Homo-oligomer: A and B are copies of this chain.
Amino acid sequence: MAMKLYCFGESGNSYKAALTMTLAGVEWVPVFVNFFHGDARSPEFRALNEMGEVPVLRDGDEVLTQSGLIQYHIAEKTGKLLPQDHHLRQEVMRWVLWDNHKMSSQAGTLRFLMNFVPEEKRPQEVIRWLSGRLRDAFKVLDAHLEGRDFIVDDVPSLADTACCGYLYYPEPFTFDRKAWPNIDRWLDNVAALPGWKHPYDMMPGRPSDRGL
């Protein structure tokens, strides 16, 4: 039976799971969560995930949440996107954790505040502050990608499918690809992998559905 991913198109955290599953060649179907209608905070959804967040993966009887955990579940099940070598595996985990801690959390929130909050309610001081923190993260990633095609050992891994989670979205969030040439090149490398799709072509829901 196909795995089910509770997700929505605008969620970069969902995209990390969706892209990992797609590149690893597993069969999955999306279940649309109407986040902008408050569905992720509903009692029904909380019963599925007490954290009130997408993505959630249902794989048979198993229910998994947190994009990083879903990524590892898929990699362990398929043997894809995770090296065998212990030190390289540690290096993958290091970048998955760094992304969750330092990059996606800033990028996703900044994109939300700059695009999905009504213009008159956007907290400008928070936006400026987050964009500074995101710039610091881009500096680290761009420097790391100098001379590299992929983040760990020059082959695609969960580190790539984590770190790229928010970086293909077209809405402005102070990310100018051309200002970060190594990140720009790496995003092209990831997008050239067989099966790759843009988040809005992989999961239901996009801003134009809401007239944005």
Contact = CB atoms under 8 A, between A and B. Distances in A.
Interface of A: 50-52, 62, 64-69, 72-73, 87, 90, 93-94, 97-98, 100-102, 104-105, 123-126, 129, 140, 143-144
A104 B51 CA distance: 15
Closest 10 CB pairs of A and B: A125-B125, A66-B97, A100-B101, A68-B97, A66-B94, A126-B129, A100-B100, A69-B94, A69-B93, A126-B126
A176 to B, nearest CB: 22
Contact of A93 (B68, B101, B102): B68
Contacts of A73: 90
Contacts of A90: 64, 69, 73
A94 B72 CA distance: 11
Task: Determine which residue in A73, A87, A93, A143 has the highest number of CB atoms from chain B within 10 A of its CB, and name it.
Answer: A93
